[in-house]
Structure formats: structure tokens, C-alpha cells
Amino acid sequence: MRRATLALARRSLRNTLRRPQFLAPLVAFPTLFLAVNTGGLSRTTDLPGFPQVHGFFDFQLAAAITQSLLLGGVASGIAVALDIEGGFFDRLVAAPVPRLALVAGRVLATGVLALGQVAWFLALGLIFGAHIEGGVPGALVVFAIGAVAGTGFGAIGVALALRARSASTVQGIFPLVFVILFLSSAFFPRELLSQPAKAVADYNPLSYIAEGLRDPIVSTVSAGPVLYGLLAAAALTVAMAWLAVLALRGRLAND
């Protein structure tokens, strides 16, 4: 199981890196969004009740990371759907591999890729003047939450692909990513959201993930947001991995 999972994860990672048309949007799009948001809305920090931050750019970094990780999940789903459409998935199913490895390999690869995505945005932040207030321990926390959340988003993508079996259908959820993200506190502090957006954000796990990623960037590491962020990411990962396994079982049973 371990060797098969690692081999499939290695293949998934290698293929992602060899598909620039898939890889580039994962960082390019959120980077562009970050630049536009920061440039146009920098005075948002002057709003009464806005948390004390070094700058709006620092605040938005977590949103860009969350957005990038979500897109990583979509890309992962598209890759699985392409495997299904092209018949390669059947080849894997016909091999004497534990069924769980077929899901675990891809999900693990998305988690590893998430480390690279987090590194990109932290490096970008440092280059353009962000302060990682939590220092090295804070950066490590961001990597940890990012990796767990990335794994969870990967599992969502895999579950969707196994249900939909079509890359275009998985690609169709792309706009939904933004809707869910805008209904969280990723781009704006929860305290300043008006109802019903605030109520939705209170129940949206992305809020806790984004806040967990943001805390070590805008302040010293505080237990509350980091713990909630980790818990939300872990809960999402477990729930979505379970859904992915159910989707795989459903697919194999129906075939």
C-alpha cells in the first residue's frame, strides 16, 4: 500500500509539473488577484474595526494562498478525470494495487504540491515587503496548515472526478471555488462582514483555514486561530478523503 501510494503520488506530482497549462494558473491567477486587490483596496485597512496589520498586502496573502490551494484541488480533480477519460485509470484499477492507494496517491501529491504553493506566496510576500510577523515558526505553521488544507482540497477534486468522470464537469466547478471563497473571511475580516455573509462565513471552514494561515503572517503565532485553522483543515481533509473513498467504491461497484 505504502509503495503503491508513493509511486502514484510521484507520478501525479511529476505530471503536474509537466503540464504547465495546469500548473501556471495555480499560482498565476491568485498572484494576479493579489496584485489587483492590494493595489485597489489598500485603504481598506483604514476601516474602523479592521485588525491591526502591517498592510493590506500582508492581510491578503492568506487569501491568495487559500485560493491557490483550492485551485490545486480543482487541478487534481481534472487530472483524475483525464485519467478516467483516457483509460489510464482502468489500467490502475486492473493492477493488483490496494484500491485506497488510487485515491491516496493523488491526494498526497496535492498536499505536497501545496507546500510549493505556500512557498511561492511566502517568497512573493517577502520580496514585496510583507512582514511574516510569526518569523520562522510562523512560516512553518503556514506550511503545515497549507499542506493539510491542500490535501483536503485535493480529496474534494478526486471525489468530484470519480463521481463526474469528466474533466469538463470538474472544470465547471471552477467558478464555484470563488463563490465559496468569497463567502468566507479570506478576503475580508469576519467582524466587518454584514449579515447574512457573516453568518455564512462563520460556518465556512475556509474562513478558519484562511484565518489560520493569516495569523502567523500578520501577528505572532496565536494558539486560537492556528488551532482552529489546523482543525478545520484536518476535518475537511478527513471528511473529503472519506467522500473520495466512497466515490471510488461507488465507481468500482457500478462498473
Partner 1 sequence: MAAIEAHGLEREFKGGLKAVAGIDLAVEPGEVYGFLGPNGAGKTTTVRMLVTLLRPTGGSARVAGFDVAREPAAVRRRIGVALQEAALDNLMTGRELVELQATLHGFAPAKVAGRAAELIERVGLSEAQERRVGTYSGGMRRRLDLAMALIHEPEVLFLDEPTTGLDPTSRFTLWDEVRRLKGEGTTVFLTTQYLEEADQLADRVAIISAGKLVAEDTPAALKADIGHPHLNLTLAHGDYADAARTVVTEFGPLRDPDGEAHVAVELSQGATGIAGVVRALDEAGLVVEALELVEPTLDDVFLAKTGKHLEGADAPVEEAV
Least Å distance, CB 10 to partner 1, is: 8
Least Å distance, CB 179 to partner 1, is: 31
CB neighbour class for 55 (10 Å; exposed up to 12, middle 13-18, buried from 19): middle
Question: Rule CB under 8 A: is residue 250 a binding residue for partner 1?
Answer: no
Question: Rule CB under 8 A: is residue 86 a binding residue for partner 1?
Answer: yes
Q: What's the Rg (C-alpha) of the chain?
A: 18
CB neighbour class for 66 (10 Å; exposed up to 12, middle 13-18, buried from 19): buried
Least Å distance, CB 171 to partner 1, is: 18
Chain Cα centroid distance, residue 93: 27
Could you say which of 40, 90, 140, 191 contacts partner 1 (CB under 8 A)? 90
Could you say which of 20, 48, 49, 87 contacts partner 1 (CB under 8 A)? 87
Q: Is 119 helix (H, G, I), strand (E, B) or coil?
A: helix
- Contacts of residue 218, Cβ cutoff 8 Å, sequence gap at least 6: 51, 53, 54, 58, 59, 133
Distance of alpha carbon 21 from alpha carbon 137, whole angstroms = 34
Question: Applying CB under 8 A, which part among 15-23, 25-33, 70-78, 234-242 lies near partner 1?
Answer: 15-23
* Choice between 116 and 138, CB closer to partner 1: 116
List the x/- string, 44-83, binding to partner 1 by CB under 8 A: ---------------------------------------x
List the x/- string, 94-133, binding to partner 1 by CB under 8 A: xxxx------------------------------------
Could you say which of 33, 45, 50, 93 contacts partner 1 (CB under 8 A)? 93
Which grid cell is 190? 469576519
Task: Give yes or no for a contact between 180 and 207, defined as CB atoms under 8 angstroms apart.
Answer: no
Which grid cell is 230? 489546523
The site for partner 1 (CB under 8 A) is made up of: 3-4, 7-8, 11, 14-15, 18-19, 83, 86-88, 90-97, 253, 255
